[in-house]
A and B are shown apart, each in its own frame.
Chain A
Amino acid sequence: MIRSTPFESKGFGLVKVIGAVLIVGLCGFPLYWMVLTSVKPGSEIFSTPPQFWTTVPTLEAYARLLSTTNFTTYLRNSLVTAGGATALSLFVSTIAAYGITRFRFRGRETFARTILYAYTFAPIVIVVPLYGIFRDVGLGNSRLGLILAYGSFGVPFSLWLLRSFFASIPIDLEEAAMVDGANRPRAVWHIVFPLALPGVIAVSVFTFLLAWNDYLFAKVLITDDELKTLPVGLHDLLNASLLDWPMLMAGAVLINIPVIAGFLLTQRYLIAGWGTGGVKG
């Protein structure tokens, strides 16, 4: 029997409310619990049943994290590698995307498509030989090696997104600037780059987070504790003999800060520009 049940009916309204509450609860609660645990006083951590709020928040766990572990070293390493990878990836992708959209040469389409295939190679398949190669050429256990690795992983997505941005910027604008006496680099810097800024921000956030979030490559390519990045450093704390959950959660909260910031900065493009690539596998 065919009944007319529009989505706007009462029954479906209830489904929507329940669904929305479930989504917010299931996706949000683990993060709420992470933040809550990081500020709970020690006496409340191991209460049974667990306590779902706290009246006496404290930052002791953060103080412990910063004073008794190498967290600040890991943080600096993460900032350097992720920042370096972002700069590298952004620079080479920008000039390549510009080259593809502004100059005509043989094989540019093939080049763009081939570079996208890089995504079909799984990290675990790449990291094994990369470990051997980097060891042979003296890039093992170095920040530069990590920067090169992350920078390269950022290139395919960055190139494709920037390419579509550059293609949509009318060439007449640069030509006009150049007729007025600007050379090409100046025209690109003052005309093209500002117009492509949303794309530039999106690919920068993408590469930064890719490097910031990665565990596998940092784990394999870096052995020196002084060079470890945050994900590896934090996981080492999980494996420590004494599990300090508030301190671990404090570390988790701090790692998330740039992630949430980047997310808020780019979420406008996330749904609209989805399909060109993901943040991680």
Chain B
Amino acid sequence: MEARGNRGDGRQLELSKKIFELSTIAEIGKEFISSLDPERVNSKIVFTLMGVVGAKRGVLYCLKADTRRLEMLKAVNFPAGERPQALDLNAAQFGALQRLRNPSFLSEYGGEYAFIGTLVSADLVPDPLVIPLVAENSVLGLILLAEKLNTPYTEDDISILTSLAGYSSLALHRKTMVEMLVKSEKMAELGRLGAGIVHEIKNPLTSITMLSEMLKADKSLDVRQRKYVGIIGQEAQRILRLCQNLLSVSRPKKPEMAEVDLNRIVEETVALLSYELKKHRVMLKLDLQRGGAAAVGDEEKIKQVILNLVINAVHAMDGGGPLEISTGIGVPGKANRKAPEGSRYLTLGEPGRSRMTILTIKDGGSGIDPAILDRIFEPFFTTKAEGMGTGLGLYVTRNIILDHHGTMTVLTRPGSGTTFRIALTRPPSARRRKS
């Protein structure tokens, strides 16, 4: 009788467990469809997976594909001094993560996954259960769970966690999509507002620029007066450039592609900036491909890219410094693999294996803080002092490069400067010449 009673208790427990798991699945599905609050979604993911199996600790990471960074979103039950941190991945680690599909213990993975163990303290989470969050065939994040309060994990536990991870992945994916949508809506609205204002400003500015040029040549003015007129003209030019960037955002024009020589475009653009470079004590070094650097592109837009990047470089070198602009032929992806120790990089576009025409702009400035690297191409994001930048230069630059089907890599190390490497398609004539 007693044995039957125990079996009965066991069945009761099993039944309660199933009811609990089913209600959890039903609740999480409903919650994730209705909730847009990212903080709430992050908390819900970790708490739910922890609680349904009785894990002692849990942490949620999101994987940022553009910066290859594992960002910690929510950690539960970690002491203040031992909270899990973010981790920047190298290409091999990122590739390894993308191959994960099912929950498994870290000890069951090969050595290439050892970096996951560095995310959490081994004392607190000795052998984490690693649950990948996969949506649209990409790993969007990871959940790490510590051991359970009572028993080891069972196959049933892994099954329920896999189901919940599926919902969590969709929630994470949806959250990312919503954030992008909100940003693009905000952008479009600001762009529409800006376009009207900019158009009104551009016409009088053009008059100021032209008249100041005429006045500068007027012999009846003394040296000091001509200098002031020169400054008025330069400042008006600066405002015109800002207007140009704003208009590019609100009414982007498709590039008019032609075969261009990057060497000539570089020389013409830096000539325009010679005064600025001298004023800020920037030592310019040009290292241009012998025999020309042919590429397919829109000359005006490439000029705008160089202008934006050089102006940023000047601002990054407070008190002056070296600026090197070079052109050449190469495979964009290969150069990224030679990134020096301690540096971080971010690539826009898909670096293929074919040879492309490369434009490199390298400054000796302060470098970019790794914490903001993945935000620098966002519209209206700026670290410059108020009045110094609109936060549109790099956004416009990014759009131009992507419109050209090119790639751009930014390589930086705080305190050691920043390098922008742009790769554009080579014209068929140049490829033939080579072969």
Same complex for A and B? Answer no
Mark A residues whose CB is within 8 Å of B. none
